[in-house]
Chains A and B, each alone.
Chain A
């Protein structure tokens, strides 16, 4: 058995934070993705250009740069906003967990935007026409017909986003979030066994990947129930 010199707990603590950050990102990613897809598909020119600017920037800039800039930028922007609103100087400190969740959510929301956009376009136009022919107005047709089918097309892509996202949580170590990578780092420095601890972290990331793949496969089967296959 590998000797972790009594630092086994860093893996458990780190794993919890990694999973917590990853899972809390999901709602942000989905909301940003739906908003982004709506903006990119919208007839409104302003909304469309905002949507395109959003995905263009996220696609063109490395995650590391985005994470650092959004993390510090967010704190300062909020500080300025609150100071201006109250008239006095307000010092705020967003904890790395919240900031990290928002940052990763914003980044991967852009990826989800493409997934939702593709999924929307993949829904058979005849289905929408049929819904309208039943007298449903646009919103009802979206809620009852388009959205459920769109989600079926979106699931493999969203699963892909999750796999990339959970690996990207490792970058949160640069803003001192005590997730798996950061905790492994702390322990590695404390007992001077970097290989042992980074290797342990890698094994855990691999385990997360394996479990996620298994879950995704079942999610896909579930979402395709009742669909005829060739």
Chain B
């Protein structure tokens, strides 16, 4: 059989893909929740809040994810007695899954907070002034005006972050986890069919990546309903152009 290495191991690949998706979804969800306070804190007027957050984001955006991952997983091994003493070794740092999630969450939070920061700065001043004129408190302004608008502005950039993180989860194979790439390495050492396995795995990543682009493109379309020309009416200039994800592939 020409493709037996893949066909015979489809179940293993499926489990690998499941782990990849699990890691992506969990770290994105936690990352998004954490990014909101971090992104807002980054814009705080108080330097005590702003500077530590700036430093955190700078470190995680300025260094390779693989180094962060190794520092957390292998690095924690240097402090086993100390970590065990505070109950963080067994069940936490000893588990590659926990270390992978920790690294991915810390990393994606930093990038997402940066996107949110830019988006908040992009909210038109007039809208914030209007909210103030209505007598809304700062928290209410954030909740009702600034954040909803910022999410919409930041969505195209966030789409890129989602796809990037999905692909970046492949690094967890280097700390022994059996994600899609981890399974591929295992299957190759069993069958020696490196090229077909890599091309197959690459194709799977490619399909899921573009599925994610499409999915977020749909979301973007829905969220911009109020900006589109009314059916029948001539298209007005200034209507939000459908953001082309391809132009913003750099992070």
Contacts and interface: CB of A to CB of B under 8 A. Distances in A.
A63 B163 CA distance: 12
B71 A161 contact: no
Interface of A: 55-57, 59-66, 68-69, 72-73, 76, 111, 114-115, 118, 157, 160-161, 164, 167-168, 170-171, 173-174, 181, 185, 188, 192-196, 198-199, 201-202, 205-206, 209-210
Contact of B168 (A60, A62, A72): A62
Contacts, number: 121
A164 B40 CA distance: 25
A205 B63 contact: yes
Given A185-B70, A202-B67, A194 B78 contact: yes
Contacts of A69: 194-195, 198-199, 202
Enumerate the 10 nearest inter-chain pairs by beta-carbon distance, A residue then B residue, closest first: A60-B206, A195-B75, A209-B62, A170-B64, A62-B167, A194-B74, A195-B78, A62-B170, A69-B198, A198-B71
A195 B194 CA distance: 33
Interface string B198-227: 110110011101100000000000000000
Contacts of B174: 174
B181 interface: yes
Given A57-B206, A114-B250, A174-B174, A194 B64 contact: no
A65 B249 contact: no
A76 B58 CA distance: 40
B181 A64 contact: yes
Interface of B: 58-59, 62-68, 70-71, 74-79, 163, 167-168, 170-171, 173-174, 181, 184, 194-195, 198-199, 201-202, 205-207, 209-210, 246-247, 249-251
A111 B75 contact: no
A170 to B, nearest CB: 4
Nearest to B201: A65
